[in-house]
Amino acid sequence: MTKLSVNINKLATLRNARGGNVPDLLKAASDIESFGAQGITIHPRPDERHIRYQDARDLKNIVKTEYNIEGNPIKSFMDLVLSIKPTQVTLVPDSFAVLTSNAGWDTIKNRAFLTEIITEFKRNGIRTSIFVDPVISIIEGAAAVGTDRVELYTEDFAVGYAKGDTASIQPYVDCAAKASELGLGVNAGHDLSLDNIAFFKNNVPHLAEVSIGHALISEALYQGLAPVIKQYLQKLQ
């Protein structure tokens, strides 16, 4: 079964909009796990517009499943992750101004940089994943830098699938197969939803984990967190 990791950034955004501690991020993370999710994902950014660095520290004592921290490996992020030692760190090449992740790493151009960063995280016992576009040469570059996994950036698939273009899945099928051939685990995320997750999972081989936040939280506004998480788990079986 493909694991479901729930990204709780949007809950932090809602909390920060009003101040105070409603919704309670730590309780929400614990509840999400109790509803069956196999992981919690956060993506703290330097401006702390949703997840705060202190949230990341506090969640360390709350999350009992897989704890995945995403972000651009600037010094403050690296120091944070190395102090927490989550299950997994996912490296994302976000610029400071970007609203949401919108591109994967060029693993060829950034080979030396990524190799150095990944070596440090793995030396500290943290599983590494890097956010990549579904391009075979980029997957081969990911294997060369020593990462444990890749996270396939799925926006192109989601946009194509919504328009009825089922062929948009093919680059992901090919890249997942190549990643597995090279000994890499395969994760995926971005714009996956209840509408497209079953098709994606049923067609992409070797899919270890999906990270879903915006769509899941939006769907839960109508249906509730527990029912929505249950539906995702059923579709991922």
Q: Could you list the active site residues?
A: 43, 70, 190
179, 216 in Cβ contact below 8 A?
no
CB burial of 169-196 (b: ≥16 within 10 Å; e: otherwise) equals bebbebbbbbbbeeebbbbbbbbbbeeb
- Strands 88-91 and 149-153 turn out to be unpaired
CA–CA–CA angle 83, 88, 94 (5° rounding): 85
Residue 68: name the closest of 28, 39, 105 by CA: 39
CA atoms of 213 and 64, how far apart (whole Å):
19
Which amino acid is present at 187?
N
CA atoms of 166 and 1, how far apart (whole Å):
23
CA atoms of 91 and 71, how far apart (whole Å):
5
